[in-house]
Amino acid sequence: MLDLAASLSAERLGPFLDFCLTRRLTATTYLARRAAALAVGRTGVAVIDQLLRDRPHGLHVPANEFEHELHKLLRTLGPPYPVAQHRVVLPDGTVRFLDFAYPPVKFGIEGDSYLWHASRTGWSGDHVRNAPLIAMGWRILPVTYFDVTERPAWVLDMVERGRSPEVCGVKAL
């Protein structure tokens, strides 16, 4: 990772780092220690430092390139930032992960890729998957790649409204 950081920008290296973190091929704490140990005279350390600042310890990262692009877009709204790969335990003990969530207001954002959701099974699975979350009070906003790339202002408007504490009667995030 440090060798790649010497020749790639943070924007180019970020998705690769996310891929590695998601699959537990490395950890942010390990990279931070290695970058600190090799900081003197090593090119690329500044890029690693920048990437690690964007990925606070203990937080999950987007799982794929589409989610990475959605995450970049969501961060333009500023704080509060969404939690990537937010874990929700259902009443029966099963676990669901939301692509992005604002847990204090129970607002989730799901990246819906046509590739994975276009079949009857995929479409039905989405509804079955989301039903218990909705029953628990979560609001789920499905967002497509087209939405992120072709109408980002619309996505940001929907998210701004959805994460608003006033929408669900919460005093503040």
pLDDT of residue 28: 83
Same domain, 157 and 108: yes
Q: How many domains does the chain divide into?
A: 2
Same domain, 116 and 86: yes
Same domain, 74 and 107: yes
CB atoms within 10 A of CB 83: 16
Same domain, 41 and 83: no
In a domain, residue 59? The reply is no
In a domain, residue 60? The reply is no
Name the domain boundary from 53, 76, 93. 53
Domain, as residue range, for 86? 65-168
Name the domain boundary from 53, 74, 89. 53
C-beta of residue 114 within 8 angstroms of C-beta of residue 144: yes
The CATH number linked to 144 is 3.40.960.10
pLDDT of residue 114: 61
Average pLDDT along the chain, 173 residues, taken 10 residues at a time:
88 81 79 84 84 67 75 92 88 89 95 63 67 94 93 96 76 55
CA dist 126 and 154 (Å) reads: 22
C-beta of residue 138 within 8 angstroms of C-beta of residue 108: yes
